[in-house]
Amino acid sequence: MSPGLHLRKKLINKSNKFIFFYPGNIKQKTGGYIYENNIYEYSKKNNISIHFNELSDNYPFPSNKDLKYLNNIITNLHSDKILIFDGLVLEGLAKEEYIFNNFKTIALIHHPLYLEFRGKKSDYFLDIANKIYKKVDYFIVTSSDTKKLLSKKFNINSNIISIVEPGIEELKKYKKTPSKSVKLLTCGSIIERKKYDYLINEIQKINSIELHIIGDTSRETKYSAKIKKQIIDNKLTKKIILHGKVSQIKLEKLYSQCDFYISTSKYEGFGMSLANASISKLPIISYETSTIKKTIGKSGVLYFNNFNKGTLQKLIVNNCFNKEIYKKLKKSMTKKKYLTNNQSAKLFIKSISNA
């Protein structure tokens, strides 16, 4: 029996009201996956009627085989089911009219995909968003900025958009090992939007620095290959460590061992990894966006506002090796209040139930 047929039987035999589709492994320790996994764990623990379906990690560029697999599931569902799509899956469904014509749909949007790309790819996803968002019945977003964007740019009625911020739990702390190097940590899939190429260029000539990158390499394989080549060609394998996917324990140990959290991402739906750094009292270096400023504030943060050559390098050199500056940054960090994992998941369930 094929995986698709097996999964269809499981769905038909269950009285699940909601069917949640997401791409790739939900156990990955990066923002969107952590958010969705929290909902999964809460639903399982509390017997909430959501069935979670893992789809190919090819989305938002599904193959014909990927779409056939999805359609095999959906065509055997009763029309009273409510389908929830992660944004990566949603924007890969431009030609799937059957889904939107026959089912009530809810979209979980961290941010529209056109923001992740430049040039023709950005235009392509902007066109898809303009067409597909009109067919969605309800939206859940992770920040007020994303809600405003959907309302203004895509003319979505704000009454069908709910904001459900992620749950942020304090990470377990481990004893820090003294090091002569300044250790930087960044978390997020190896995709162009995260601008890892800029980050690597800016730190490669700084002495006594170490960058740890946690993130899935399978989403944009060409960009991941480019980053790996950039590290190898510049003989940076000891200075820049690509960890790939990690366990919760390793994630917590890296947060404990590093001196700064750094983010060069231009667009974030919320910035969960930065929020983790904030409540862990790990000073932060970040590209300045209104979303991130709302998420983590100004205390204990060094912001930069352009990607010019030397901008980030200068910021790091002038601040990160000065013990007094480091102490002031750490001391100035105030504990922001975030939703817990359970509070966030509970609010998500409430939102989809009222949609």
* Residues 335, 277 contacting (CB under 8 angstroms): no
The pLDDT value recorded for residue 55 is 95
CA angle 196, 199, 201 (to 5 degrees): 110
Chain segment 276-285, per-residue pLDDT in tens: 999 999 999 9
Interhelix angle 64-74/3-13, nearest 10 degrees: 30
Q: What are residue 185's DSSP bridge partners?
A: 212, 261
- Residues 209 and 182 sit within 8 Å (Cβ to Cβ): yes
pLDDT at 216: 84
pLDDT value at position 10? 46
CA neighbor of 74 nearest in space, from 11, 1, 25, 138: 11
Mean pLDDT of 299-320: 97
pLDDT of the residue at 32 = 82
The confidence band for 14, taking pLDDT boundaries of 50, 70 and 90, is: low
For the whole model, what pTM was predicted? Answer: 0.86
Residue 277 has which token pair? 């750094």
Give the separation between CA 312 and CA 310, rounded to whole angstroms.
6
Distance CA 193, CA 139 (A): 23
How many of the other CB atoms lie within 10 Å of CB of 25? 13
Percent of the chain scored above 70 by pLDDT? 96
Q: CA dist 39 to 104, 206, 350, Å? A: 20, 41, 12
**Banded model confidence at residue 158, pLDDT cuts 50, 70, 90:** very high
Domains of the chain: 3-167+340-354 (3.40.50.2000), 182-332 (3.40.50.2000)
pLDDT of residue 23 exceeding 50, the answer is yes
